[in-house]
Copies of this chain bind each other. A is one copy, B any other.
Amino acid sequence: MNAGKSTNLLQVAHNYERDGHRVVLAKPSTDTKGDDMIVSRIGASRRVDVLVSPLDNMRERVLALGGIGLIACTLVDEAQFLTREQVEQLRMLVDEDRIPVMAYGLRTDFQKRGFPGSIALFELADTLEEIRTVCRCMHKATFNARLVNGEMVFEGDQVAMDGDNEVTYVPLCGPCYQQEQDKVGK
């Protein structure tokens, strides 16, 4: 959604590390083509400590890096791509290992449907917090519309894999999304 999730994550990492506390940065490899960087739109970027594939056990991957008492916080980017099992493993990190977890991700896809990781976080997280951004009309944006080669589309896979076309997203409020959807007669 380009609202500042990665910026926020990098700032939280900085806040912990400023006092000498250690954080673990993680990210699912799925659909990000194995890219292991967390990149903020305002210029900062940083390599993750853990790149997780869908079958990886998040808890084990994190604890392998230091364990209880050594890790102050686990920060996860692109958390919408986590599996339910991985979110349950993060919950265990909190409940059993007492390591706080902050996971950043999109709420819904371009068709207003939750991602598996987002729904699992909705079900299992202690606190839900929104990072807001504005719609083109200046109201708060709630949804993400997909553009393929600059055209708004309302059908397709949840994750666009279409290598030949340029796929981008634009944040929209409810009424603006509806207006665009009405235009294409769907």
Contacts and interface: CB of A to CB of B under 8 A. Distances in A.
Interface of A: 2-4, 7-8, 10-12, 14-16, 18-19, 21, 40-44, 72, 91-92, 94-96, 107-108, 112-114, 118-119, 122-128, 130, 133-134, 136, 138, 140, 142, 173-175, 177-178
A123 B112 contact: yes
Contacts of A142: 125-126
B122 A107 contact: yes
Contacts of A126: 140, 142, 173-174
Contacts of A178: 92, 95-96
11 contacts: A7-B11, A15-B134, A21-B138, A42-B44, A43-B43, A72-B134, A94-B174, A114-B123, A118-B122, A119-B122, A126-B174
Nearest to A174: B95
Contact of A119 (B42, B43, B114, B140): B114
A158 B144 CA distance: 31
Given A15-B3, A114-B123, A138 B41 contact: no
A130 B128 CA distance: 8
Contact of A123 (B42, B72, B107, B128): B107
A97 to B, nearest CB: 11
Contacts of A21: 134, 138
Given A2-B15, A113-B123, 14 more contacts: A3-B15, A4-B8, A7-B11, A7-B42, A8-B8, A14-B41, A19-B134, A40-B42, A40-B44, A43-B43, A96-B175, A125-B142, A126-B140, A128-B128
A17 B113 CA distance: 27
A177 B91 CA distance: 12
A121 to B, nearest CB: 10
